[in-house]
Amino acid sequence: MVCLFGCCLPLWQLVPLVTFVAYQAVALFSRMCARRPNLVMTPISVAKMHSLIVRMFNTQADGVLSGLVSAPARATATSVTALHIKSADDYRALAMLTAREPKAVAIIKVGAPWCPPCRAIAPVVDSVAAVVHAKALRDAAAAIAAAPGNAFAASDYTEAAADEPTSMLGEDKAGGADGACCEGGVCEMRKKPASAGTPKPVSAPTACAEGEGEGDANGSDREDIALLASGAGGPAGASLTDLPPLPLLIVADINVDAVPELASLANLLPTFIILSRGVIADSFVGADRSKLAQAVQKHMFVDCRGAV
């Protein structure tokens, strides 16, 4: 007989109970770690990275970045909500920015329209994004003001290179949700099986815990980070120092139904991932306002508690 917290059970009843709890713990751990795919990141040129980020900002607030040169006071006062990642290249651009700029950090919400917790947290993400982007725009404006002479012009914030050809892996046509189970503030992704010949989904390199993902995956991670930092794989172009400064603190979101090739980033929705130095440095699951505020404070050093 074993007694614990006023409850006594014979050993023969305790064994199946411990077995059940252990099975559930292992199943949860396996499900959370299963989102780490074989990591493939096609690098893009620096010019394309810069243009894609400019396009994402212009979609939310037209001309806000060019305004940092022509009308900085007005541009820095503009409220910019969460950027929308509409393609794998948009995601590559943010990963590449964080790989090339040590101070750059991107917090990305992975969600879907059919996910109730994702819809519930969306207004909070936009409020947090407005606070974060306000600081990032002020920092970019200060960098422009500190540049010698008239180093940059408003026309330098261009989208011209955004549509450069990229060696794409293709869309995962078999992706998307085939039904969903929502419980406890999260929704589980249930993906359709990939058909023969379907290209692999893409993701940024992931910062694995010690002993996790050893072997080929870690080797490819290091190579991917080096490619992102160098900007290899794209047409020759200007270096990042030749282009006008970009906001280095970015909050964005991904609709996995619209960008199925990025659905491998999460098995549970919503998932928040933090990109820093070209890798997923941190992540958490669920529509938790306090965790979002803590992540912003920890990785971006921005106090957004008033926005949540």
In a domain, 54, yes or no: yes
Q: What tokens does 141 get?
A: 């404006």
Residue 149 φ/ψ region, left for φ over 0, alpha for ψ in the -120 to 50 degree band, beta for the rest: left
Q: How many domains does the chain have?
A: 1
In a domain, 166, yes or no: yes
Range of the domain at 131: 38-307
In a domain, 24, yes or no: no
Q: Is 10 exposed, middle or buried (0-12, 13-18, 19+ CB in 10 A)?
A: exposed
Compute the CA torsion angle 99, 102, 287, 283 (nearest 10 deg).
60
In a domain, 27, yes or no: no
Distances in Å between the Cα of 74 and the Cα atoms of 17, 82, 159 are 63, 19, 21
Q: What share of the chain is helix, strand, coil (3-state, %, to 5)?
A: 45, 15, 40
pTM score, two decimals? 0.73
Task: Render each residue's pLDDT in the chain as its tens digit; 308 residues.
Answer: 667 666 776 766 677 777 888 887 777 666 555 444 444 567 788 999 999 999 999 999 999 999 999 999 999 999 999 999 999 999 999 999 999 999 999 999 999 999 999 999 999 999 999 999 999 999 999 999 998 878 899 999 999 988 888 654 433 333 444 456 666 677 776 554 444 444 445 544 444 443 333 333 334 444 455 555 555 444 344 566 778 999 999 999 999 999 998 988 998 999 999 999 988 999 999 999 999 999 999 999 999 888 87
C-alpha span between 67 and 7 (Å, rounded): 68
In a domain, 53, yes or no: yes
In a domain, 177, yes or no: yes
In a domain, 30, yes or no: no
- CATH number for the domain spanning 157: value is 3.40.30.10
Q: How many CA atoms lie within 13 A of 202 on its CB side?
A: 20
In a domain, 13, yes or no: no
